[in-house]
Structure 1
Amino acid sequence: MLLSHGGEPLRTADRAARWTVEQVLALAPDASSRKAGSKLGSAGPWSGGGCDGSGAVWGLCRGSGSKPYQTVVDTTGPAYQCSCPSRKFPCKHALGLLLVWASGESALPAGEMPDWAGEWLTGRRRRAADKGKGKPETDGAPAAGPADPEAARRRAERRAERVTGGAQELEQRLTDLLRGGLAAADQSGYGLWEETAARMVDAQAPGLAARVRELGSIPASGAGWPARLLEECALLHLLDSAWLGIDRLPEPLAATVRSRVGLTAPAEGPPVRDHWLVLAQYDTPDGKIVTRRIWLYGRDSGRTALLLSFGAAGRSPGLALPVGVTIDAEITPCPGAGRLRAELGRQFGVPSPTGTRPPGGTAAAAIGAYGDALRDDPWLDAWPVTLREVIPVPSGDGWQLADAAGDAALPIAPAALSRPGLWKLVALSGGSPVTVFGECGHRGFDPLAAWSTDADADAGAGACGVDADSVEISSVDTTPETVPLI
């Protein structure tokens, strides 16, 4: 019997729908894996392949050795297992197998799972069930109790003391910088900033270290850099001061400060179960660590949530969700302003490639939402928003998203101008309004996903005199497809 992440039997009647090619490629840990996996995305190298209604896909891939590689994917995770020696997850064979699966039923038909694939899948889902419900007692002995709370308190106090020392040292560094004049900051070079960032790492304050590295890059950012450097120095000083006086802050703001300096807090509160649409997934390097951000939208709760996972050098983060699928799952929010960050909990059933796009607003409303969020978190770089009925248009040396009604426009962030996703957005629009999800901040709007204005989907509701976004569109043919832009 195969188990879901929640420890419940998977209903084979709820057959896992096939993903699109874009959803598969969004899982690739890097560009080289995406290219190598695409070469294996045809039926030629594969044999003994198949899939079933529980979300399992398997196959044997011909390689350079005498034995083919055994590859199996659990799309409910997703999770991957391959007998190849690659340390990337997913490896090129898993990506190639999913691409074959995405190409249609004739390429990888439904069938009976071989023993080697079934053993791994059953074991993985049982372990996930144990993790979700708490591991049961074994051999009549009670389960291990919680860690010593007194020892945990002492560790937390020692780390807080180190962070305090780092914040005080950083304050002195900022004082010296301002005393010498910002205009001369570019003469010291990046090495001094990197040394200061390393000191913050030693103080166990990775959040401060990341902001120091950003300061070091500003003098080389082009005209007007002294003003930008002053702004970032002021925000960093505000964060230092908040940490040094954290005992006097209200708890929600104190939780935000702890998060900003790099002290993570466990998720708390009752889990929220919903049908979560995966809006975007992207990786950002931070020294030797890669951070993966996954944005979710809850169909029933209307909530936007952020999942974070991390990978060491040379390895991709463990959590990966294909953009555009909907998962029936629980998430538990983490403390801090906005409570956007959450941890993924139990999943129920198999992911579906269809979902309702998030409701959107105007460009002016997006700016207002970011401004409201800044009241609770002054260090917030951007806020997740969805723009409804906007058109990408050129603006000077860049682009902007203009309201179809012509009321307002948002400039597209410079970081997005060099990505292929911008041209994908322009092609999707073709001069017509689109819905776009992204991050709105002081650098502009960074588009992460988009949906075309589906005339057929809107017509079904419009004919009844109802706004299309006020009803659930469950038909696969009429639900607009999520187009990833990053």
Structure 2
Amino acid sequence: MTQQGVRWTTDQVLALAPDAASREAAGRLATAGPWSEVGSTDGGTVWGVCRGGGGGPYRTVVDVADASGPACTCGCPSLRYPCKHALGLLLLWAGGDGAVPEGEPPAWAERWVTGRREDAEAAAGAETAETGAAETGAAGAEAAGTEAAGAEAAVGTAGDASGSVSRTRDPVAARRRAERRAERITAGATELEQRLADLLRGGLAEVEQTGYAWWEETAARMVDAQAPGLASRVRELGSTASSGPDWPVRLLEECALLHLLDQGWLRRDRLPEDLAATVRTRVGLSATADGSAVRDQWLILAQYDSVDARLTTRRVWLYGTETGRTALLLSYGAAGRAPELTLPVGLSLDAELSTYPGGGRRRAALGKRFAPPAPVEIRPKGVTPSQALARYGRALRDDPWLESVPVTLEQVVPVPDGDSWQLADVSGETALPLTPAFGNRAGLWRLVALSGGVPVQVFGECGHRGFTPLTAWPAGPGQAVSLN
């Protein structure tokens, strides 16, 4: 929605949902029955009171026009964000049938919106001041002249609220902390190399006998070495063992990549800077977005979450309509909580982005936002399936551990391929197989229905496992359709 009162589509609302259960629950609340005192303004505020089954009614307010991004509040006890009441209210409003009339917000809704926007302005001022202090600290760390000091300064700048600025103001202490951590990681990488050598010397056939405990113990050793990236890859190795047909081949491939990462860390001083930065990130060292801020109208291509026992990671893909660049935003939430960064797929965001170091420089930090998300007619430029594969191959030169690259396929048709599916170009000469995981999602049938045998445009991630569609556009004019 813009400040001129443009409504979102149903797909754009559902793209905000943290999971499938929230989408389903919101659908049941997208009728006038449970709601009272509903209303909206052309400035981007929607409110209502929902009759709750567990202690309501719940006052719900959604601010979709603030430049800092859509946000909501609700009286319900849900840990999901947005909750089902906020999503249901937005679905009711997006229907555009007069169920949510325009009017003046009640005092309780006005207080929340006003307070939130005032807090956002104050936070922006504080962030500007902290950024200046961090830049001063980073300059001091650079003057100290060691790679480890720069890495620790980056960790301090992006780190906890307990004193990241004070850390960066003391480059000598920062250098010492970073050197100690680098020594621990080096010791951990050396130990991991020995463990991998012992594993391969004994033969992969013994892996089935050792069970998962060996992998978990090895991962715990990497955590002790302050190398969470190595620990994560070790756990992935544990889940690969005995995981279906050809698992020894896949396990050997992953062991080789882990060995390559170990050797990259141990010889990082001999690597090109971008590759060395990629290695530091892959082993688990934090970094700051050091690229120049680039302002553009960023088309919100896709948004999806991946969840494990420790963390929920939200990935948001953006496309610069003027620069033609594709960027990735990452946001995190503690286990059981959705990240707060929420952007509606299909709209565009007038904002500044700064890239992180590393090969390809896809990951970016979201900076100043100049306007709320708004509709845009531009679509990303597309390529053929063969060009998509070539792009992934080139990206592997900069980051050998890269799982996939963002790609928009132009003029492709979903077609069955035995028990699976693929996206074929209009000529039928080249095609990309869809990843097995996507074949089990409802998004596949949404894509097939959208196409109806006619070529469509599809954005997704192309990697060694295949192509994962995330968003699609119809052949003619029409809104983006999220496939998550």
Q: TM-score category by the smaller chain? A: 0.7 to 0.9
Correspondence for 1:118 = 110
Change beyond 3 A, Cα 1:230–1:38: same
Q: Which of residues 298, 308, 322 is equivalent to 2:330?
A: 308
Report the AA paired with residue 82 of structure 1.
C
Correspondence for 1:166 = 188
Find the residue that maps to 2:72 and give its secondary structure.
strand
Report the AA paired with residue 395 of structure 1.
D
Higher helix content, 1 or 2: 2
Paired residues of 1:276 and 1:327 also in contact (CA < 8 A): yes
Paired residues of 1:334 and 1:342 also in contact (CA < 8 A): yes
Deviation (angstroms), 1:64: 4.7
Find the residue that maps to 1:220 and give its secondary structure.
coil
1:217 aligns with 2:239: yes
Deviations 1:366-408 (A, max 9, x none): 0111111111111111011111011111113211111112331
Correspondence for 1:296 = 318
Find the residue that maps to 2:33 and give its secondary structure.
coil
1:365 aligns with 2:357: no
Correspondence for 2:412 = 390
Deviations 1:209-249 (A, max 9, x none): 22112211222332222121111111100001111111222
CA-based RMSD of the aligned residues comes to: 2.1
Deviation (angstroms), 1:256: 0.5
1:325 aligns with 2:358: no
Correspondence for 2:44 = 55
Deviations 1:259-307 (A, max 9, x none): 1112121112322221112111111123411111111111111111111
Correspondence for 2:147 = none
Deviations 1:172-216 (A, max 9, x none): 111111110123322212221122222222322221122112211
Correspondence for 1:69 = 58
Deviation (angstroms), 1:90: 1.0
Residues in 2 aligned to 1:397 and 1:33: alpha-carbon distance in whole angstroms: 30
Residues in 2 aligned to 1:436 and 1:32: alpha-carbon distance in whole angstroms: 25
Paired residues of 1:16 and 1:352 also in contact (CA < 8 A): no
Deviation (angstroms), 1:66: 7.7
Residues in 2 aligned to 1:369 and 1:354: alpha-carbon distance in whole angstroms: 27
Q: Which of residues 444, 450, 459 is equivalent to 1:437?
A: 459
Deviations 1:28-65 (A, max 9, x none): 22233222222221112222222222222111222257
1:18 aligns with 2:10: no
Q: Bigger shift: 105-114 or 233-242?
A: 105-114
Residues in 1 aligned to 2:174 and 2:479: alpha-carbon distance in whole angstroms: 47
Residues in 2 aligned to 1:63 and 1:391: alpha-carbon distance in whole angstroms: 44
Residues in 2 aligned to 1:98 and 1:192: alpha-carbon distance in whole angstroms: 48
Residues in 2 aligned to 1:182 and 1:145: alpha-carbon distance in whole angstroms: 45
Residues in 2 aligned to 1:50 and 1:158: alpha-carbon distance in whole angstroms: 57
Deviations 1:140-172 (A, max 9, x none): xxxx99423333333323322222222122111
Long gaps (5+) in structure 1: 1-11, 138-143, 455-477
Report the AA paired with residue 364 of structure 1.
S
1:28 aligns with 2:17: yes
Give TM-score scaled by structure 1 length.
0.87
Residues in 2 aligned to 1:171 and 1:65: alpha-carbon distance in whole angstroms: 54
1:149 aligns with 2:170: yes
Change beyond 3 A, Cα 1:118–1:105: farther
Q: How does 1:395-410 map to 2 (within 5 A)?
A: 395-410=417-432
Give TM-score scaled by structure 2 length.
0.87
Correspondence for 2:400 = 378
Find the residue that maps to 1:210 and give its secondary structure.
helix
Find the residue that maps to 2:99 and give its secondary structure.
coil
Residues in 2 aligned to 1:66 and 1:25: alpha-carbon distance in whole angstroms: 25
Q: Which of residues 73, 86, 92 is equivalent to 1:94?
A: 86
Residues in 2 aligned to 1:280 and 1:13: alpha-carbon distance in whole angstroms: 19
Residues in 2 aligned to 1:45 and 1:370: alpha-carbon distance in whole angstroms: 49
Q: Which of residues 122, 125, 137 is equivalent to 1:130?
A: 122
Find the residue that maps to 2:17 and give its secondary structure.
coil
Find the residue that maps to 2:344 and give its secondary structure.
coil
Deviation (angstroms), 1:135: 5.9
Residues in 2 aligned to 1:25 and 1:232: alpha-carbon distance in whole angstroms: 36
Q: Bigger shift: 375-384 or 184-193?
A: 184-193
Paired residues of 1:132 and 1:345 also in contact (CA < 8 A): no
Residues in 2 aligned to 1:411 and 1:328: alpha-carbon distance in whole angstroms: 35
Report the AA paired with residue 183 of structure 1.
A
Deviations 1:70-111 (A, max 9, x none): 211111311111122222211121111111111115111221
Residues in 2 aligned to 1:66 and 1:484: alpha-carbon distance in whole angstroms: 34
Residues in 2 aligned to 1:145 and 1:314: alpha-carbon distance in whole angstroms: 26
Residues in 2 aligned to 1:136 and 1:183: alpha-carbon distance in whole angstroms: 56
Percent of residue pairs bearing the same amino acid type: 62
